[in-house]
Amino acid sequence: MTRQKTGIVELDAMLHGGFLERDAVMVAGSAGTGKTTLSLQHLVNGITKFGEPGIYLTFEQLPDQIYRDAENFGWDLKKLEEQDKFRLVCTSPDLLLEPDGAGQLLDSTIKDIQPRRMVIDSLNHLEMYLPRGGDMRKEAYRVLNYVKTKGISPLAIWETQQTAGQAFNVTEVGMSFLVDCILLMKFVEIDSAMKKALVIMKMRGSDHDKELKEYAITPQGFKIQGSFSDYEGVMSGSPHKVASERFVDMFQKASEKHKGGLSH
Partner 1 sequence: MLSSEIKGDLLVLFHKNPGLIDSLDGVARRIGRVGTAIQADVQDMLSVHILGSRQVGGREIIFLDRSGDKAAQESILDYLKNLKGKRE
Select from 45-53, 88-96, 124-132, 216-224 the region that touches partner 1 (CB under 8 A): 88-96
Q: Which is nearer to partner 1, 81 or 232 (CB)?
A: 81
Can you list the pairs that 201-209 forms with residues at least 24 positions away whose Cβ atoms lie under 8 Å? Answer: 201/170, 202/170, 202/176, 203/15, 203/20, 204/20, 204/23, 204/180, 205/1, 205/20, 205/23, 205/180, 206/1, 206/15, 206/16, 206/20, 207/16, 208/14, 208/15, 208/16, 209/13, 209/14, 209/15, 209/16
CB of 206: closest distance to partner 1 in angstroms?
33
N-terminal to C-terminal alpha carbon distance within the chain: 67
Asked if 91 interacts with partner 1 (CB under 8 A), we say yes
Residue 19: CB minimum distance to partner 1, A: 24
- Least distance to partner 1 from the beta carbon of 10, Å? 31
**From CA 41, how far away is CA 80, in angstroms rounded?**
13
Select from 78, 68, 77 the least CA-distant residue to 45. 77
The residue type at 261: G
CA–CA dist 233, 116 (Å, integer) = 38
Q: Please, are residues 53 and 116 in contact by the beta-carbon 8 Å criterion?
A: yes
Applying CB under 8 A, does 142 fall inside the site for partner 1?
Answer: no
Query: Is 33 strand, coil or helix?
Result: coil
Residues in contact with partner 1, shown as a per-residue x/- string from 61 to 80 under the rule CB under 8 A = -xxx----------------
- Should residue 216 be labelled a site residue for partner 1 when binding is judged by CB under 8 A? no
83 touching partner 1, by CB under 8 A? no
99 scored as a contact of partner 1 (CB under 8 A): yes
Chosen residue from 28, 44, 88, 184 binding partner 1 by CB under 8 A: 88
Angle between helices 63-72 and 35-50 (to 10 degrees): 70
State yes or no: residue 130 binds partner 1 (CB under 8 A).
Answer: no
Number of residues this chain uses to bind partner 1 (CB under 8 A):
17
CB 90 to partner 1: min, Å:
5
Binding of partner 1 at residue 101 (CB under 8 A)? Answer: yes
Residue 89 in the binding site for partner 1 (CB under 8 A): yes
256 binds partner 1 (CB under 8 A): no
Shortest CB 83 distance to partner 1, Å: 14
Q: Interface residues with partner 1 (CB under 8 A)?
A: 62-64, 81, 87-92, 95, 98-101, 104-105
